[in-house]
Amino acid sequence: MPTREQLLALTDELRRLRSGGERSVAVTEESMEQLRVAVSAAAAIPADAAVARVAGPQFLAASPTPAPAPVASRPVAAPKPAPAPALPAAPTVTLPEGDKRARWAALHELVVNDPVCRAQLRPGKKVVLGVGSLESRIFFCGEAPGAEEEVQGEPFVGPAGQLLTRMIQGMGLKREDVYIGNIMNWRPELPAGPSGIQVGNRPPTAEEMNYCLPYLKAQIEIVQPQLIVALGATAAGGLLGAGTFKTLGEIKGRWHQFAGKSVMVTYHPSYILRNNSNRSKRSIWEDLLQVMERVGLPISDKQRNFFL
Ligand code: URA
């Protein structure tokens, strides 16, 4: 039977698929039955019970046994996102003169003290700005902070972040060598459990992304990367415009443009956490090989053949 964490991961993935334009997923009868049983059992668990981390697969290790092939296709209603809060107009960001470090520090002050961003937080949680090398040629852009990120105030530190770090290492780099940010500076809110703890994530609304976009553009202006890697459909929608594509497949693995920078669109690492097949890993890896080629990183034969 799926665990509570797997159910949460599944609902996150369904929301992500829906925001990427998918309207149905294939589910076997057997899986449907397991889900029915698991949902009834999960309903009996307090919503704020401690959530153990889902152990992320080793990005560079062999895949576990693949899930049985889907045999039937039926529409699955994804959970409804919370109604979007009314937000004021997006901020106008004017960066001070100075070196990159000073400009980033000024932006950080601005963002973490932004009353609109702060108003979206639950008590004790943090506004999150990007981190990493201000000299990086590569700017990884994700969707929004999750549970771990809003606690630590740093993007991609949870399970998806650990996988992203391994992907970066696969490229022959260290996490600190690149810049990692998100479209959003806060974790989009979902109704909390009885004791006020949010379980699960939802993709940000267009209004929320629009509010945070000036902060992302300011980070790009400071770092001046050669290119951006958009991780997943929501990040791609935030950068390229959600109306410019119907499914991630239309734009994945190709070069696009945002703020005068080349953008490579690929899967979100959490997709690989849930689809840990060599095929999925090879697919994301081929996008990263294009990125490595474009920034002139050395590529060994071993790297070229990962997941083949
Ligand atoms: N997923 C994202 O898109 N960003 C994070 O910071 C963490 C998980």
Q: Which amino acid is at 70?
A: P
Higher pLDDT: 46 or 203? It is: 203
> Hey, which of 168, 184, 228, 270 would you mutate to test ligand 1's pocket, going by the most ligand atoms within 8 Å of its Cβ?
270
> What is the rounded distance in angstroms from the CA atom of residue 290 to the CA atom of residue 277?
20
- H or E element in which residue 37 lies: helix 29-43
Q: Residue 175 C-alpha to ligand 1 middle, in angstroms? A: 15
Which of ligand 1's atoms lies nearest the C-alpha of 232?
3
State which fold the 100-304 domain adopts.
Uracil-DNA Glycosylase, subunit E (3.40.470)
pLDDT at 243 over 90: yes
- Split at pLDDT 50, 70, 90, the class of 195 is confident
> Hey, which of 19, 128, 149, 267 would you mutate to test ligand 1's pocket, going by the most ligand atoms within 8 Å of its Cβ?
149
Q: Residue 153 C-alpha to ligand 1 middle, in angstroms? A: 11
pTM of the model: 0.78
pLDDT in tens, 19-52: 555 555 666 555 555 655 565 555 443 333 322 2
In the numeric block, which tokens belong to residue 41? 């059992």
Q: Residue 154 C-alpha to ligand 1 middle, in angstroms? A: 9
Closest alpha carbon to 204 in 162, 145, 263, 122: 145
In the numeric block, which tokens belong to residue 77? 């209603």
Which of ligand 1's atoms lies nearest the C-alpha of 142?
3
> What is the rounded distance in angstroms from the CA atom of residue 114 to the CA atom of residue 131?
18
Q: Residue 150 C-alpha to ligand 1 middle, in angstroms? A: 10
Q: Residue 143 C-alpha to ligand 1 middle, in angstroms? A: 5
Can you give the residue ranges of every domain in the chain? 4-68, 100-304
Q: Which amino acid is at 202?
A: R
Question: What's the Cα-to-Cα distance from 216 to each of 37, 68, 172, 255, rounded to whole Å?
Answer: 42, 40, 26, 19
Residue 69 confidence (pLDDT): 39
In a 13 Å sphere around the CA of 262, the CA atoms on its Cβ side amount to 12
Question: What's the Cα-to-Cα distance from 229 to each of 124, 191, 256, 292, rounded to whole Å?
Answer: 31, 31, 10, 11
Residues with CB under 6 A from ligand 1: 142-146, 149, 155-156, 158, 160-161, 182
Q: Is 29 helix (H, G, I), strand (E, B) or coil?
A: helix
